[in-house]
Structure 1
């Protein structure tokens, strides 16, 4: 759910962009009257906002799965997201004359949609940087076959007060893992997760001796690991809350030496 403060920030930036584009009149729109330009860009950006808003979530998910930079993953999501959006724009504008739509129309609409969609995505990123609080709480989804409470209680003493102080009170508890999201770190605890404005390496430094950096985007508490999953040459760690965390191939030798990559939880 979008926070009210974040939503208002996004809409404010979006409104400013509508005025700028209406004044500049790009893509040949300058030849039309100001009122028409204003309406055109208002509709275009608002519809683009609705279609492109999931792009950041999709890009973040892609970054977590592949290990690529979050910004690069978001750019890739924009490239793919512009395809269905441009098709909808073209055929909706053509109306009854949809049979006259050509490949050149689609190509031009795709380029324009990609530019507008990227602009909308930048609006969201700007709002994310400037409008959200230091943390953004997110309750954990229910996971199938949860581990016994005792498994979570076993890591109760391994907490990082300095990092936990930046979380909402109801989420403070045993830290299970850290997930890198660009300039933020999502701190996963036994009670849920929250997004904290901190560099990954600084967050990991606060937890020295309590776990390991298993992937460029992940740090895991050693007592949070309940098992491992191996698929050919790829490994994943299964945590006590049912989460599965990918292991980078470069980290496999170190984790194997620590005794993490076996059928049993890693030794304390």
Structure 2
């Protein structure tokens, strides 16, 4: 049986040369902006010297904040995998921790460029506050960029798969699929796993989580007409690629999905299910 090969764009490509170069460009542009503004009493120094200071500080910050974001997301996912706000919480915690670390490093950079005579620990509180603001802004810009790239990758992946597996799907069907995905919050848009009818509502399960839509089940099936999936029950539709295994409970066939859901197969759709999964 075919398994799901799609990986989360945000995790699989975070450390590619292209992404590092893109993040570094954001950092350098922000350093230029700060060098131009000359904040924190830097009015009397040249633009070039200010630029050297901010490039050094911001690049050091990138080496602290980027791993902190990845580590924070990984730790929180392992501790609370089902927490709905884990992305936001991990972002906040990671920024706070990285700002604390960078606040301890920044006084050394300040002394390197300006040789100030004040005590190291006198500079730390202000450095932490400054890092929290500057690092937070740069991080939010980088995270926003990552979200945009991730959604672009999801759409590109779905379009390519439709072209490879369903060459007869028309442009209208592809548009209907994109319209359906656009109904989901941006953080829930991912590879479709299954749909579950719940009265007048529709529970949409993706590899990014679940979301409830006020939508009729049959209307959703029309929009997903060109997507590689099938109806397994009067209340369930599943993506073919998201079915990882099957099992029997008495005479009933159960589909095991990639998100650990178990989908029952009714007798009405048993023949169709076996055909879709190449079961004897």
CA distance in 2, matches of 1:181, 1:51: 30
Change (3 A) 1:12 1:69: same
8 Å Cα contact 2:236/2:263 also seen in 1: no
Indicate which of 158, 162, 168 corresponds to 1:165.
158
Work out whether 1:84 is the aligned partner of 2:101.
yes
Shift of residue 126, structure 1, vs aligned partner: 3.5
Indicate which of 84, 91, 103 corresponds to 1:67.
84
Shift of residue 47, structure 1, vs aligned partner: 0.9
8 Å Cα contact 1:82/1:114 also seen in 2: yes
8 Å Cα contact 1:59/1:70 also seen in 2: no
Change (3 A) 1:201 1:164: farther
SS for the counterpart of 2:236 is coil
Gaps of 5+ in 2: 1-12, 166-183, 194-205, 230-234, 248-255, 266-280
Change (3 A) 1:117 1:163: closer
Q: Which residue of 1 aligns with 2:64?
A: 51
Q: Which residue of 1 aligns with 2:22?
A: 9
Indicate which of 24, 33, 43 corresponds to 1:20.
33
CA distance in 1, matches of 2:67, 2:208: 21
Work out whether 1:126 is the aligned partner of 2:144.
yes
Change (3 A) 1:267 1:71: same
CA distance in 2, matches of 1:59, 1:89: 22
Structure with greater Cα Rg: 2
8 Å Cα contact 1:183/1:197 also seen in 2: yes
Q: Which residue of 2 aligns with 1:40?
A: 53
Q: Which residue of 1 aligns with 2:177?
A: none
Q: Which residue of 2 aligns with 1:117?
A: 135
Shift of residue 123, structure 1, vs aligned partner: 3.2
Whichever structure has more helix as a proportion of its residues is 2
Superimposed CA distance per residue, residues 20-46 of structure 1 (whole angstroms, 9 cap, x where no aligned partner):
111001122233221111101111111
Shift of residue 76, structure 1, vs aligned partner: 2.4
Superimposed CA distance per residue, residues 179-229 of structure 1 (whole angstroms, 9 cap, x where no aligned partner):
x9963545498xxxxx99999557x96687147xxxxxxxxx797699xxx
Change (3 A) 1:45 1:222: same
Change (3 A) 1:182 1:36: same
CA distance in 2, matches of 1:134, 1:184: 14
Shift of residue 91, structure 1, vs aligned partner: 4.4
Q: Which residue of 1 aligns with 2:187?
A: 183
Change (3 A) 1:110 1:29: same
Q: Which residue of 1 aligns with 2:202?
A: none
SS for the counterpart of 2:43 is helix
SS for the counterpart of 1:31 is coil
Indicate which of 218, 230, 236 corresponds to 1:209.
236
**TM-score calculated relative to the size of structure 2:** 0.49
Shift of residue 125, structure 1, vs aligned partner: 1.7
8 Å Cα contact 2:99/2:131 also seen in 1: yes
**TM-score calculated relative to the size of structure 1:** 0.51
Root mean square deviation of aligned Cα: 4.8
SS for the counterpart of 1:128 is helix
CA distance in 1, matches of 2:108, 2:47: 25
